[in-house]
Structure 1
C-alpha cells in the first residue's frame, strides 16, 4: 500500500514540492526513515538527521529548505501537529474486520442493522437494538437490548454496551470499553460513616455496624456525535436520569465516569481520570492524567486541570488548576517552590533561635 507525495499533500491541505509522484509506504521518525518512508521532520531540530539519513521524502516545517536537506520531495505544513491528524487518518488501515456479518455473530431478529455493516466473530446484538449505516463492529462485542447507535460507528474488540444506551454518529470505542454498567451506589438503613463524616468534617460519631444495600441504576447513558472512549474505560448508567457525554468529547484509557455525571461538548479526559457520581463538567474542559473530580460538584467551561489534580469543590469557568486540593496553577507552583525552600528556612530558623537563646543567657 503506497501513497504519492501529491496524494498526501492533498489530504493534509498542504504544499508539495519536488517530485510529487514519488510514492511512500509508511511514516517514520527521521532517524528510522528508509528511502520508501515518509519522514516526519516537523521542526528544525531534525535537519541534521535528515541530511545524514536515508529519507527521500519528508513532512517539513514552514520555511524549511528541502533541497538543502538532500530530499527529492517534501510536504510543507504550517501546523505540524494538526497535520498529523490528517496524515494518520489517511494511513490508518483500521481494525481487521472481514466485510459482511460473520457466521458466528448472534443478532436478535428484532434488531435493526443499517446498510454496509461489518460485524465480526462472536458479536452479540440484543433485542430491539438499532445500529446505523456503515457500522464496523469487531469480534466479541456485545450490545444489550434497546440500545441505539448512530451511523459510521467503530467498536473495537470486546466492547460492552449495556441496555438502553443511546449513542450518536461516528462513535469510536477502543477495546474492552464498557458503556452503561450499573452505577456504584449503596445505602445503609441508618446514616453511614460517610454521611456523618461529611456532616461533621471528620467525626464519625457513634460507630454503627450495618451492611450496604444496593441502589439500582434505572437511568441510561446518552452520548452525542463524534465521541471517542478509550480501552478499559467505563461509563456508568444513571440512577434515575441519564449519564450524558456531549458531542465531540474524547475519553482516554482507564477512565471512570460515575452515575448521573454530565459532561459537556469537546472535553478531553486523559488516562486514569475519575469523575464521581452526579458531577457536572462544562464544555471544552481538559482533565489531565489521574485527575479526580468529587461527586455533586460543577466544573465550569474551559477549565484546564493538570495531571493528578484533585477537584473537591466547584471550579469557575476558565480556571487553570493544579494540585491536591486543586487551586490556581500559579499558586500551586509558588507553594511547591516554597516547600522546596523549607529545609533551608528551618535551618536558618534554628540558627536564629540558638543565637537569640545565647544572647538571652548573656543578658
Structure 2
C-alpha cells in the first residue's frame, strides 16, 4: 500500500519537513529500514539505529536535526504510540474477504444483508439476521437467528454469534470469538455446599450428595459501537436480561464474560480476564491479564487492576488495585516489601534470643 511522506504526515496529523513526495511502501525499525520504508525512530534511543539502515525518511521526536542524520524527509511526533496507531492503520490492508456473497455461504432467505457487505466462504447466517452496510464476515463464521450487526463490522474466521445478539457499528471480532453462548448457571434442589461455605467462609456441617439442575439462558447480549473482541473471547448471554458491553470497550484474547454482566464504555480487559455473573463494571476500567472479578459486585469507573488481581468485593471509583485479594496497590507493594524483610527479621530475632539466653545464663552463675 504505497504512501508518501506527505500522506503519512496527514494521517498522523503531524508536522513534516523535507521531500514530502518521497514514496513510502512500509514501515520498519531504523536499523533494518530500506530506502522505501519509513524508519520508526520515535524515541531518542532508536535514533542511532538509523546509521545501520538505508531509510531516507523517518518518524522522529520533535526537535531532532534530521538533516544531520542524512535523511531526505522527516515526520515529527510528540506521542509515539499514538503515531503508531495512525501509521499501522495507514499500512494495514486488512483481511482478504472477497466482495459480495461467496457461493458456499448459507444465508436464510429472511436475513438482510446491507449494501457493500462481504460474506466469505461457508458462512452461515440465520433467520431474520440483519448485517449492516459494509460489514465483512470471514470464512466459517456462524451468525444465528435474529442477530443484528451494525455497519462496517469485521467478523473473522470461525466467530460464533448466538441468537438475538445486538451489535453496534465498527465491531471487530478476532478468530474463534463466541458471543451469546449459554451462561454457566446451575442450582441444586437443596442448599449446595457452595452456598453453605459462602455463608460460613469455609465451615461445613455435613456433606451430602448433590445433583445440578440447569438454569436456561433466556436473555441475549447487547454490544455497543467500536467494540473489539480478541481471539477466543467468550461472552455468555444473560439469564433473563441482557449481558451488556459498552461502546469503545476492548477485550483481549481468552477473556470470559459471565451471564448478566454489564461492562461500561471504553474499558480495557487484558488476556484471560474472567468476570463472574451479574457483576457490573464501570466506564474506563482497566483489568490486567488474568484478573478475576467475583460475581454480583460493582467495580467503579476508572478502576485500574494490575495483572492477576482478584477482586472479591465492590471497588470504589478511581481505585488502583493489586493482589489476591485485591487491595490498594501501595498496600500490596508494602506488604510484599515486609515479607521480603522477614528472613532478616528472623535472623535478628535469633540473635536477640541468643543474647538474652547468654545474659540470663551469665546472671544465673553470678
TM-score normalised by length of structure 2:
0.98
Are residues 1:203 and 2:186 paired? no
User: SS at the partner of 2:100?
Assistant: coil
Match of 1:81 in 2: 81
Are residues 1:60 and 2:42 paired? no
Shift of 1:79: 1.3
Whole-Å separation in 1 of the counterparts to 2:154 and 2:49: 38
Are residues 1:152 and 2:152 paired? yes
Query: Contact 1:50 / 1:70 at 8 angstroms: preserved in 2?
Result: no
Query: Contact 1:31 / 1:53 at 8 angstroms: preserved in 2?
Result: yes
Query: Contact 1:293 / 1:312 at 8 angstroms: preserved in 2?
Result: yes
Shift of 1:353: 1.5
Match of 2:114 in 1: 114
Whole-Å separation in 1 of the counterparts to 2:295 and 2:361: 58
Whole-Å separation in 1 of the counterparts to 2:4 and 2:38: 10
Whole-Å separation in 2 of the counterparts to 1:302 and 1:95: 34
User: SS at the partner of 2:222?
Assistant: strand
User: SS at the partner of 1:313?
Assistant: coil
User: SS at the partner of 1:68?
Assistant: helix
Are residues 1:72 and 2:75 paired? no
User: SS at the partner of 1:222?
Assistant: strand
Match of 1:96 in 2: 96
Pairwise CA RMSD of aligned residues? 0.9
Task: Note the residue ranges of structure 2 that are not aligned, 5 or more in a row.
Answer: none
Whole-Å separation in 2 of the counterparts to 1:197 and 1:333: 30
Match of 2:243 in 1: 243
State the Cα deviation string for residues 202-221 of structure 1 (Å, max 9, x = none): 01220011111111111100
Whole-Å separation in 2 of the counterparts to 1:20 and 1:331: 53
Shift of 1:87: 1.0
Whole-Å separation in 1 of the counterparts to 2:248 and 2:140: 26
User: SS at the partner of 2:198?
Assistant: helix
Shift of 1:44: 0.5
Are residues 1:293 and 2:293 paired? yes
Match of 1:356 in 2: 356
Output aligned runs, 1:1-363, within 5 Å. 1-363=1-363
Task: Note the residue ranges of structure 1 that are not aligned, 5 or more in a row.
Answer: none
**Matched positions, count:** 363
